[in-house]
Structure 1
Amino acid sequence: MKHFPIFMALEGRRVVVSGGGEAALAKLRLLLKTEAKLVVVTEDAAPEIAQWAQDGRLTLIRRAMEPGDALCARLFYAANEDDAEDARVAELAHRDGALVNIVDNLEDSQFITPAMVDRDPVVVAIGTEGAAPVLARAIKKDIEERLSPRLGLMARMGKAFRARAEALPFGVKRREFWADYYAQGVASETDASSSLEALLDKHLTAKPKEGRVDLVGAGPGDPELLTLKARKALDEADVVIYDRLVAPEILELARREAVMLSAGKEGFGPSVTQDAINEMIVSHARSGAHVVRLKSGDPTVFGRLDEEIDACDASGIAWTIIPGITSASAAVAALGQSFTKRGRNSGVRFITGHDTKGFADHDWKTLASEGEVAAIYMGKKSARFIQGRLLMHGADPLTQVTVIENASRPEQRILATTLGELEPTLTHANLTGPALVFLGLAPRAALVAAQHHEMEAAI
């Protein structure tokens, strides 16, 4: 993000525009919606600008810009539609201490004006950092169609009612009141006023809401693989307790006011204990909060879900499981493969490389059989142990093995090897992200060719 979006206070502040043609008109139509003191400096003003000056909506100075014209200005627009003149007046404005925008010149501008959806006092700003103005306009059109024309009225009435709403306790109770208000439509100020009074009475007399827990799968990392139900839970959560492997892009989707707590679980390393996590979940839910326990992948697959459910049950707290796409599904898709294939295997095993006691033991003899397919979670640090167990039970050293690091994420990496070469392949690869090991699966030939081409290009 090269441009940080803010809403700047312009009430009573000077905003200066240099130029009197179409570019200046486009900016002025937007700026006239503010309460800024507008000044236009130009030798040749369009009729609309002259009329606005006559109506007292702005001050028009009919001459070329001079030093000092932008003094005390909060913003300055160079809109002369002439590169040399825009550069000249921008330099003068810089010296006067104003923030400068040169129309259609992103590189030399200190700020940019986004596309806007105006439901005053509700304003939605859309920016693409100058990369795709057409896209910004398309997004604006979509939002315009979604937002009620009466949204501004509702916001103004809500603002006037704020002092009355403070009769509700700060936090969840007050937030639920406002959510109920904005979820309904109003036809007039009278309608909005009576609606607010009735809603306040309803919320003041309502019984305290009980907390609840959503046990949510965050998927393998790609935010676009997050389910709609998981997205809704994040948008409503009061508290989000998340694992270390949950992608930052997914955490960004949580409601801004939500309390974000890291559970920090890490295999073979320092981590928050499961008992401490259970206590976090229960204590926040008891206080009436909507808690989202956010787990990487799918919480029902190696997510220690039962222990957290038991903790909720023991405390009489309602819970819901919201499944996610497990990392193995995203990883096998990256291979262009299917878990099962007619004539090869009719089943697949999901196993873990280690558990709370250390390296996990399995039915290695069956897994070593020809045609078996297994997705091995947490298999990176236990790779040598898995390799040794399988070879000891007669597995073919040439059995295809694929390792997928950071499945579904931009930094995803696929390593194709064999069981006999699993180690030292992993050691040499120096994997740093979460990885899945697939026994009996290899990337499709097209993927291997594409990766080989990428490697040659990099060289």
Structure 2
Amino acid sequence: MDHFPVFMAVAGRRIVLSGGGDAAMAKLRLIMKTTAHVSVFAEDASPEIQGWAAEGKLTLVNRAVEPGDAMCAVLFYAANEDDAEDARVAAIAHADGAKVNIVDNLADSQFITPAIVDRDPVVVAIGTEGAAPVVARKVKADIEAQLPVSLGVLARIGKTFRSAVEVLPMGAKRRTFWSDFYFNAGPKAVESVGQSAVIPTLEALLDKHIMATEKAGHVDLVGAGPGDPELLTLKARNALDKADVVIHDRLVTPEILELARREAVIIDAGKTGFGPAMAQGDIDALIVEHALKGHHVVRLKAGDPTVFGRLDEEIDACDAAGISWRVVPGITAASAAVANIGQSLTKRNRNSSVRFITGHDTKGYADHDWRALAQNGEVAAIYMGKKSARFIQGRLLMHGADPATPVTIIENVSRTDQQIIATTLSDLEPTLTRANLRGPAITFYGLAPRAAMDAADTLPLEEFA
């Protein structure tokens, strides 16, 4: 971000504007919604600005800005629609210590004015750093449509009631109360009776939530997909938005963790193949511990939790503790990876089935039906296969697999640093060793990148020779 979003305190402070035309009026319509003292300097102010001055909404000075006019101003707008005059008054304002915005001059402005959704005191600011005003207007319209018109009134009254609600425990129970008030009971009360019904509604709603039976926590076992946040499912996104606690594995990307609710506790329960790892039993205990406290727990796993995700063990732990759970599937790495090489996992007259296998399990290298897999036309997606590549290569060749069978390795599937390596079974090793891959990788046995793929995206064997 080139502009850090903040809300400036302007109550009782000065905002000064230079200009009296259309640009000035556009800014003033927004500025006058604040409780600041607004001063306008213009030699020829429009009738509308003169009218606002007559109504006492602002102070109008019928001359150009001079040194000292912006003293003690928190914000200054140069809206003269004249580049030379805007530069002159901006220099004066800078010298007087004000933060300066020059209308339609992003480069020389110290701050920008966002598009605003006004449900005072609920205010939503939308900015695109001047890059896409049309997008800002669309986002504004969408948010306007979602927020109840009465939200501002409800927020002002709700603020006075916050201390009473502290009787509810922090976390999900208190959030549920406020959500019920702002988006259900409150708007209905205002619509049917008016503002006078809000306080009685709050009191009745609080009694209802106090008397409600304490709910146990809940666990969502969520697939985060291969890494690209745009491949996260809507159901997974909603789970992250509600989570009190997020327990994630090491392959979940920072961009996806950023989508979690800001107040959520984020816990890294990562495992590293053949390296440091949190024991599965400890992860199970951690999930149960937080859920028994009444928290909404999201157990966030890269890819799809139903594919080599130790899902059953975590479900069993929840069942044993009497905790409700839900599985939210994700896009597994094989699905994203095969799409990125322009292929499909199955193809008529080539293979009617595909195997998802793992290169190693809890006992070491994982053994499979190598004789069946070595037949012509077989396709397998091999997870966790980097360190076991030589073992897999040897088993397949030993059981008669064609040495020329295509093999494709995709590192960091779907991420900005994705790398695709095309080779053959006979050259699988030492190709992988020479590639020195650092990120997670999936290996396709029996699939090569489609020829039409951009050559720049695919590294052939010769790159590592």
Q: Is this a same-fold pair by TM over 0.5?
A: yes
Q: CA deviation at 1:450?
A: 6.8
Q: Please name the residue that 2:33 is paired with.
A: 33
Answering whether residue 82 of structure 2 is matched by residue 76 of structure 1, we say no
Q: CA deviation at 1:449?
A: 4.9
Aligned-residue RMSD, C-alpha: 1.7
TM-score w.r.t. length of structure 2: 0.93
The 1:48/1:91 distance shift into structure 2, 3 A limit, reads same
Answering whether residue 349 of structure 2 is matched by residue 343 of structure 1, we say yes
CA distance in 2, matches of 1:183, 1:273: 42
* Aligned positions of 1:86-235 closer than 5 A: 86-184=86-184, 185-186=187-188, 187=191, 188-235=194-241
CA distance in 1, matches of 2:342, 2:324: 40
Q: Please name the residue that 2:335 is paired with.
A: 329
The 1:452/1:375 distance shift into structure 2, 3 A limit, reads closer
Q: What amino acid is the match of 2:428? A: L
Which SS does the other structure have where 2:140 is aligned?
Answer: helix
Residues 249-308 of structure 1: per-residue CA shift (max 9 Å, x gap): 221221121111111222122222212211211110111111110101110101111121
- Tell me which of 258, 263, 282 is aligned to 2:264: 258
Answering whether residue 309 of structure 2 is matched by residue 303 of structure 1, we say yes
Answering whether residue 17 of structure 2 is matched by residue 11 of structure 1, we say no
* Aligned positions of 1:234-245 closer than 5 A: 234-245=240-251
> Share of identical aligned residues, percent?
71
Q: What amino acid is the match of 1:443? A: P
More displaced 10-residue stretch of structure 1: 7-16 or 61-70: 61-70
Unaligned runs of 5+ in 2: 460-465
Answering whether residue 384 of structure 2 is matched by residue 384 of structure 1, we say no
Q: Please name the residue that 1:276 is paired with.
A: 282
Q: Please name the residue that 1:456 is paired with.
A: none
Q: CA deviation at 1:452?
A: 7.2
Which SS does the other structure have where 1:108 is aligned?
Answer: coil
Which SS does the other structure have where 1:446 is aligned?
Answer: coil
CA distance in 1, matches of 2:369, 2:170: 56
Which SS does the other structure have where 1:149 is aligned?
Answer: coil
Q: CA deviation at 1:401?
A: 0.8
Q: CA deviation at 1:448?
A: 4.8
Q: Please name the residue that 1:249 is paired with.
A: 255
Q: Is the 8 A contact 1:18 1:80 kept in 2?
A: yes
Q: Is the 8 A contact 1:40 1:58 kept in 2?
A: yes
CA distance in 2, matches of 1:385, 1:113: 61
Answering whether residue 424 of structure 2 is matched by residue 425 of structure 1, we say no
Which SS does the other structure have where 1:445 is aligned?
Answer: coil
Q: Is the 8 A contact 2:419 2:457 kept in 1?
A: no
Q: Please name the residue that 1:367 is paired with.
A: 373
Q: What amino acid is the match of 2:30? A: L
CA distance in 2, matches of 1:253, 1:222: 12
The 1:334/1:21 distance shift into structure 2, 3 A limit, reads same
Q: What amino acid is the match of 2:18? A: S
Which SS does the other structure have where 1:244 is aligned?
Answer: coil
CA distance in 1, matches of 2:353, 2:86: 69
Q: CA deviation at 1:167?
A: 2.4
- Tell me which of 277, 287, 295 is aligned to 1:289: 295
Q: Is the 8 A contact 2:420 2:458 kept in 1?
A: no
More displaced 10-residue stretch of structure 1: 235-244 or 218-227: 218-227
Residues 73-117 of structure 1: per-residue CA shift (max 9 Å, x gap): 211111111112212222222222221111111111111111111
CA distance in 1, matches of 2:196, 2:334: 56
* Aligned positions of 1:432-443 closer than 5 A: 432-443=438-449
More displaced 10-residue stretch of structure 1: 256-265 or 160-169: 160-169
Residues 381-407 of structure 1: per-residue CA shift (max 9 Å, x gap): 322222222223222121111111222
Q: What amino acid is the match of 1:358? A: G
Which SS does the other structure have where 2:453 is aligned?
Answer: helix
Q: Is the 8 A contact 2:171 2:295 kept in 1?
A: no
Which SS does the other structure have where 1:447 is aligned?
Answer: coil
Q: Is the 8 A contact 1:21 1:46 kept in 2?
A: yes
Unaligned runs of 5+ in 1: 454-459
Q: Please name the residue that 1:20 is paired with.
A: 20
Residues 170-219 of structure 1: per-residue CA shift (max 9 Å, x gap): 33321111111123133121332232121101011112111111111111
Q: Is the 8 A contact 1:238 1:257 kept in 2?
A: yes
Q: Is the 8 A contact 1:79 1:86 kept in 2?
A: yes
Q: Is the 8 A contact 1:157 1:189 kept in 2?
A: no
Residues 421-441 of structure 1: per-residue CA shift (max 9 Å, x gap): 222332333323211100001
Which SS does the other structure have where 1:29 is aligned?
Answer: helix
CA distance in 2, matches of 1:162, 1:115: 29
- Tell me which of 403, 406, 422 is aligned to 1:400: 406
Q: Please name the residue that 1:319 is paired with.
A: 325
CA distance in 2, matches of 1:273, 1:7: 45
Q: Is the 8 A contact 2:127 2:136 kept in 1?
A: yes
Q: What amino acid is the match of 1:408? A: S
Q: What amino acid is the match of 2:306? A: T
Which SS does the other structure have where 1:271 is aligned?
Answer: coil
More displaced 10-residue stretch of structure 1: 132-141 or 55-64: 55-64
The 1:317/1:452 distance shift into structure 2, 3 A limit, reads closer
